Amino acid sequence: MRLLLCHRDGQPAAPWLADLRAALPGAQVDDWRPGLPPVYEHAVAWNPPQQLFDEQPQLRAVFNLGAGVDRLLALCLPPALRVVRLEDAGMAVQMAEYVCHALIRFFRGFDGYARQQQARQWAPRPAPVRGDFPVGVMGLGALGARVAQAVRQFDFPVLGWSRTPRRVEGVRCFDGAAGLHEFLRGTRVLVCLLPLTGDTRGILRRDTLARLRPGGYVINVARGGHLVEADLRALLDEGHLAGAALDVASAEPLPADSPLWRHPGVTVTPHVSAQTGRREAVEEVARAVRALAAGAAPSGLVERGRGY
């Protein structure tokens, strides 16, 4: 078995190659470079160039080193190529941490207390009521379900929405276009964990965000393409939304002249809510490779027509 590693994110290849070789003994694992002969069965990749697939049209599968495959599917891929994405690889617990941190910071007003400290003010505020802050999670896959369950541990009411029916214990679930408006009307803190597809691009726009309960808050840890940033700023300035925590942006890195940097209601982080763990990712890839070798469908197999 021959595998290619194509990791275009500035990370050294050597640790990835070593871990892949250890997890798949007997396999030939090489670092991709232009001009290699087309003799490889699989590729393990993150942000690969089109050249990889142009030069290796015989590939049977590509294993995406992340949960989102929108950038990969934007390339011209061989029709028979199987695309397999990571489902966890240490990301679920990180995503839950990030969302719970952003949620509780907003709910408890910790940004306000930080400003009070700078002004040397000692001014306790009334305790908020959790029932007034229902949390809606958009996207109930492996990551979204983990986030919803983590939020439940803090006794917030939790709603969930997905394109197709899902069930998560303790979560009031909605699905499809028919369920979206009711889901939004019941939500005050909106968490986006959707895959980015043609149907979900721009889903966080004025007519959807305006349906949130007054004083709403948006946490986007999915893709910047889900959010119409100008509509978010307008609803913040109008007072319908109280704030937002954005880990992703429509253009990354976020341009220095973006108004989001300076908006008092917005917290920006540089796409760090869930970072792929190398060893966990290699374990997932190895399981998927072994499943394919046994003639089984691996966990994380992407339906290319749906985009996830």
Q: Mind telling me the catalytic residues?
A: 223, 271
Residues 119, 267: Cα–Cα separation, whole Å: 20
Helix (H, G, I), strand (E, B) or coil at 147: helix
Per-residue 3-state assignment (H helix, E strand, C coil) for 200-248: CCCCECHHHHCCCCCCEEEEECCCHHHECHHHHHHHHHHCCEEEEEECC
Sequence-separated (6 or more) residues with CB below 8 Å from residue 7: 13, 16, 44, 45, 46, 65
Token couple for 78: 């061989």
- Do 249 and 228 touch, CB atoms closer than 8 A? no
Sequence-separated (6 or more) residues with CB below 8 Å from residue 53: 59, 62, 75, 76, 77, 78, 81
Residues 239, 225: Cα–Cα separation, whole Å: 23
**Which residue from 212, 276, 251, 268 is spatially nearest to 67, judged by alpha carbons?**
276
DSSP state of 173: E
